[in-house]
Amino acid sequence: MAERKPIESWLTDMDGVLMHEGIPVPGADAFIKKLRDSGRPFLVLTNNSIYTARDLHARLSRIGLDVPAENIWTSALATAKFLDDQHPGGSAYVIGEAGLTTALHEVGYVLTDTEPDFVILGETRTYSFEAMTKAVRLINNGARFIATNPDETGPSAEGALPATGAVAALITAATGKKPYFIGKPNPLMMRTALNTIGGHSETSAMIGDRMDTDILAGLEAGMETFLVLTGLTAEKDINRYPYRPTHVNDSIAGLVDFV
């Protein structure tokens, strides 16, 4: 195997890596501080499109993790960037929260339910039958179907919640049209994140707790990958996959010296 170049920029997942069920993972604060002190470009990534980067900055600050809003990259921001590149100044019918609608407004999109160019499905805690019915009819009338991320379930204190991927499957069943998913494991999210910070895949690393999203996306984007065992993937699960991370660490605390 060819020797990899030194890591000059970092991407890291948030849930399961820096925090777990609203509690910071031990060592996460030291890792973020080391990144900021080093001056190396970095982004914290999340497939969750509910919150704006400013919202997430505030949520992380409350648990002692000082991540500036400009160092947070969400599937909503990646979706807005994709649409601005592909179809600037377009229109969309959106099922989602402020994180998604704000990102689309900021790239000049008009949000409408009258002949939109796109139907965009994001994360929300209030999926309604009325909104899904409207999405089905608009797609049947020619609107193109985009979804922020493929996650089928999301966590809550009471247990799993249906998430974007599950609702997308319902709309697909009703229309026969599959969405284009922007978030992980699509390497597009990683590439747009790297472009945002001026990073290059051959000198960048991705840290995650999921083999099927974080590690796969980093691998397909050509990055060095670090799997941490503080989230959804246990060490015994790694061999279930036909690919491997570059490194496996117990937690983010073990990566401080890599920066």
Residues forming the active site: 13, 15
Residue 219's Cβ-count burial label (10 Å; 0-12, 13-18, 19+) is buried
DSSP state of 137: H
Classified as helix, coil or strand, 92 is strand
Residue 174's Cβ-count burial label (10 Å; 0-12, 13-18, 19+) is middle
Say how many Å lie between the first and final Cα of the chain, rounded. Answer: 22
Q: Which of 54, 17, 16 is nearest to 35 (CA)?
A: 17
CA dihedral 223, 210, 126, 183 (to 10 degrees): 20
The single residue listed with the structure tokens 């509690």 is: 23
Q: Which of 150, 198, 181 is nearest to 11 (CA)?
A: 198
Q: Residue type for 166, please?
A: A
